[in-house]
Structure 1
Amino acid sequence: MLLRRMLIMLGVVALVVLALAAYKGFAIYQQVQQFSAPQPAISVAATTASEQPWQSRLPAIGTLKAFQGVDLTVEVGGIVRELLFQSGERVVKGQALLQMDDQVERANLATAEAALGLASVEFERGRSLVSRSNISKSEFDRLSAERQQASASVAQVQAQLAKKRILAPFSGSIGIRQVEVGDYLSPGTNIATLQDLAKLHVDFFLPEQAVPKLALGERVRLSVAAYPDEVFEGEIAAINPKVETTTRNVQVRATLDNPDGRLLPGMFANLEVLLPGAATQVVVPETAITYTLYGNSVYVITEKRDADGQPEMGTPGQPQLMVERRFVETGERRDGRVVILDGLQAGERVVTAGQLKLDNGAHVAIAADPADASAPAGAGQ
């Protein structure tokens, strides 16, 4: 009886073990089938590398400066008697801007002119007398020197008087005045700034390697933060004949018209020097490039082929596509595009979105629209 029960228990245990073994074997079989099954195609966005005319440009940053610009100051001290301009108005060359008190100088001028008149009369009298030998030649020379000295004194006082009246050295827009009537001005006091805004300079620096590419008259395009959607054009007017020893950069100055006066001196400018000639280059979107420390690469889309070199067909009857990771040499980047100097030919298709999911030889399918690529891939670009 006891032996029978033991045999039954052993049979039940054997059945349970066999059932568990069968279940585990079936699970392992399913996993093997899953891994051996072909992986689904990875959806990516793609474009074709194309040859396009590409004009080389030298990017730089610069600062706008007035074609002519000065801070008006006084050369001699005195009290302001009249202010003859309004802040922000446009003035013309030679226009009076400020008059200082000049009563002392005018009195000195009258004295000097009187002395000059007397010296001139004595000189004329002496000239008639010396011709008749009534005075010595040395006495006549003394009278001539006195007349010249009196004339110089008049010119000196006239120059001092002129310094009491400030005139515009050139036409332009005058800034906010810094003085008022009645102020005492010491020499060097700032009155206002005067800027000629009809034309502007933009000064910028380029590395010394760019010197052979630079020439007077080359076009420059620039933009400023105040007008982000507008592009202003000028041309190179001067190249500094010396390279800065601290930065190894050369200073360049371009000139541009400013007829509306919208650009102001001191503005920060992003600019590009347009180099002559436009060579044909292989160009792809910048999103197609994977940048790494050990080199830049692209994923080139090719047809998968069998051992006989024939394209393998997919389920819809189209050739299966795969990607090949290829390292390339990149050149200039501009407006979301990049030049490929080596490693890629025109007409080859490259992946522009979805690279994070790819590896060399991965099976891919080209999405009808870049938006069809997965969100994580797009977020990683």
Structure 2
Amino acid sequence: MKTSIYLIAFTLLTIISCNQPEEESPSIDIASPVSVIQVKADQLSRFTIATGNAMPDQEMEIKAKLGGEFHLKNHPDYNRPYKLGDRVKAGQPFMEIKDREYVNSISLEAKKMNLELAEKTYLKQKSVFEKGGVTERELKNAELEVTSAKNELENAEIRLEKMKMEIPISGVFVEFPHYTPNSIIEQGAPLGKIMNYSKMYIDVNLPENTMKEIKIGQAVQLTNYSIPDDTLSGRITEISPAIDIETRTYLAKVRFSNPKLMIRPGMFVKTLIKVNQKDNIIVIPKEIIISDQTGKRVYVVEDNTAFERVIETGIENGDMIEVLSGLEENERLVVKGFETLRDKAKVKILK
């Protein structure tokens, strides 16, 4: 009987204890470590990037003006025949065609003598005309003979000049066909190609939405992927007014100096063109912005508490972005540790 009474009492105590409300454990708000920067006004530029192939400002293909026996001159700086890759200067002796039969057919000395005789005849006729011994028509015919003799001599000299060629432009030989010394070549045979790439240009296609902002004379920065640490400066010199209906771009020409010849003809070059710049605006790193369907937000710290700020942004470049609203100067902006923050969370600023 006592055992039953004890069992009943134990059961009642168990039921009562189960129905007792549990005491709430005190919540612990752990301060999250963050790094902050002070919001300041700054300058921000927006750029557009375009690529193209660098081309020499001057290039010329040399062809034989006459056929005949080909003789290549020595390069005056190296005392050896010209070869591919040589730097050359305009006016240097380059090659000579030898053809005795061609020279004889020109009869240069005979044409000099003919001119001399025509000039003497004219002077004699002029003296006689002043005394009334010949007509004006006879004097004019003598003068015409002088003019014809001069033209014939000049044409002969021009034909002979074609047998010798000088370097037409300063630059570098980028093509140089090989001919066996003293071989016979035909008129029009290719003798080489020279490019002067100390000054170059690039044709670039720019987005339609930049047309109002990009002007002739605008500065351009240029880099090549194989030499990314070297930047050259250029300018826009020409702009097409027409938009390509397929690409929605327009053509512009960028010219630049290449004094060290680091950029070679045909190289793929990237251009960086400033299309907009704003001064005295709030600028923050793009990477700290949290974006979702509700908009863009960042966190600022006041009294060791993080506060969420919804922001509106403006222009941007590769790393930074303009803040139009939502932030004020001198606020402390969270730049590290923001990923797990929530509004009004406690934070600890790391030094």
TM-score above 0.5, yes or no: yes
Corresponding letter in the other structure for 1:82: L
Q: For residues 68 and 324 of structure 2, what CA distance do their matches in structure 1 show?
A: 69
Alignment of 1:107-186 (within 5 A): 107-109=104-106, 111-115=107-111, 117-118=113-114, 120-121=116-117, 124-125=120-121, 128=124, 131=128, 145=144, 148-175=147-174, 177-180=176-179, 181=181, 182=183, 184-185=185-186
1:160, distance to aligned residue in structure 2 (A):
3.3
> Partners of 1:263 and 1:162 in 2: how far apart?
36
Partner residue of 1:71? 61
Structure with bigger RCO (C-alpha 8 Å, 6+ apart):
2
Give the counterpart letter for 2:308 in structure 1.
E
- Equivalent positions of 1:223-302 (< 5 A) are 223-234=223-234, 236=235, 238-240=237-239, 242-246=241-245, 247-256=248-257, 258-273=258-273, 279-290=279-290, 297-302=296-301
CA distance in 1, matches of 2:32, 2:276: 44
For the structure 1 residues 177 and 339, does the alpha-carbon distance in structure 2 shift closer, same or farther, using more than 3 Å as the test? same
Q: CA deviation at 1:98?
A: 2.5
**Alignment correspondent of 2:43:** 53
Ranges in structure 2 where 5+ consecutive residues have no aligned partner: 75-81
The count of corresponding residues between Structure 1 and Structure 2 is 330
Give the superposed CA RMSD: 4.4
Is the partner of 2:206 in helix, strand or coil? strand
- Please list every run of 5 or more consecutive structure 1 residues that lacks an aligned counterpart in the other structure: 1-7, 304-318, 370-381
Offset from partner CA, 1:312-346 (integer Å, 9 cap, x none):
xxxxxxx4523425242131224x33332343322
CA 1:117–1:366 in structure 2 vs 1: closer, same or farther (change >3 Å)? farther
1:174 touches 1:195 (CA, 8 Å); kept in 2? no
Alpha carbons of structure 1 residues 346 and 166: separation in structure 2 relative to 1, 3 Å: farther
Identity of aligned residues (%): 17
Shift of 1:288: 1.0
TM-score when normalising by structure 2: 0.71
Aligned residue identity for 2:347: A
After superposition, residues 200-239 of structure 1 pair within 5 angstroms as 200-215=200-215, 217-234=217-234, 236=235, 238-239=237-238
Distance 2:239 2:71 in 1: 44
SS in 1 for 2:59: strand
**Superposed displacement of residue 94, structure 1:** 0.9
Matched, 1:194 2:176: no
Aligned equivalents of 2:83 and 2:208: distance in 1? Answer: 46
Could you tell me whether the CA contact under 8 Å between 2:66 and 2:188 is conserved in 1? yes
TM-score by length of 1: 0.66
